Amino acid sequence: MATQKIDRRSQRTRGALRSAFIELVLSRGYEAVTTGEICDRANVGRSTFYSHYTSKRELLEESLQHPSDGLAACVGVAATPQELLPLLAHFTEQRAINRVCLDAPIRSIWVRTLARMIERRLPRSARAKLPAGLIALVVAESQIALIAHWLTGKFSVQPEVVAAMLITNTRTLLANQ
């Protein structure tokens, strides 16, 4: 079986674009950042940017994939709270980024990105009464809301409890749709 060769230059370029994008969004906000500014900060040309991404929104959606993977996994019957703890630790370590990601307009983009990932994982039994897309959006909204409220620090809740709540709430929403 042949393994796919990883293009290191492409990885480096994408990493530079992601880093530049995150820095700019943190300092200026998502809506204020332009593709040209991302290119300048990453030290790449516009054509290079567009050979990797169609827009800054696509770059944002790709950046949201990693945290969304763990949350989407809550749909699976084998998901455990213990598996979510590294993701929750990541969220607490990245409070500055979360501050931006949990506010408009990024939050709604994150919810839709997560909902697409959840929808692909929904079991057939969860699609009986409501459209899968609607179920996935409700689950994604619930998960992001729980994380947002937990990260504000207003409620002193241990990560283990939040992880268990994410799984329990997801399963309850799916069972009662």
pTM of the prediction? 0.88
Q: Are 91 and 147 in contact (CB under 8 A)?
A: yes
Q: What is the model's pLDDT at position 1?
A: 40
**Alpha-helical segments (H) within 4-126:** 8-28, 35-42, 46-52, 56-63, 65-72, 81-93, 95-101, 106-121
Q: What is the model's pLDDT at position 155?
A: 82
122-133 confidence digits (pLDDT tens): 987 666 678 999
Tokens of 151: 């990260």
Q: Does the structure show a pLDDT above 90 at 158?
A: yes
52-90 confidence digits (pLDDT tens): 999 999 999 999 998 899 999 999 878 899 999 999 999
Q: What is the model's pLDDT at position 150?
A: 93
Calculate the average pLDDT of the chain.
Answer: 91
Q: Does the structure show a pLDDT above 90 at 140?
A: yes
- Look up residue 150 and give its amino acid: W
Q: Does the structure show a pLDDT above 50 at 176?
A: yes
Q: What is the model's pLDDT at position 72?
A: 96
Helix (H, G, I), strand (E, B) or coil at 7: coil
CA torsion 117→142→144→111, rounded to 10°? 40
Tokens of 34: 């332009």
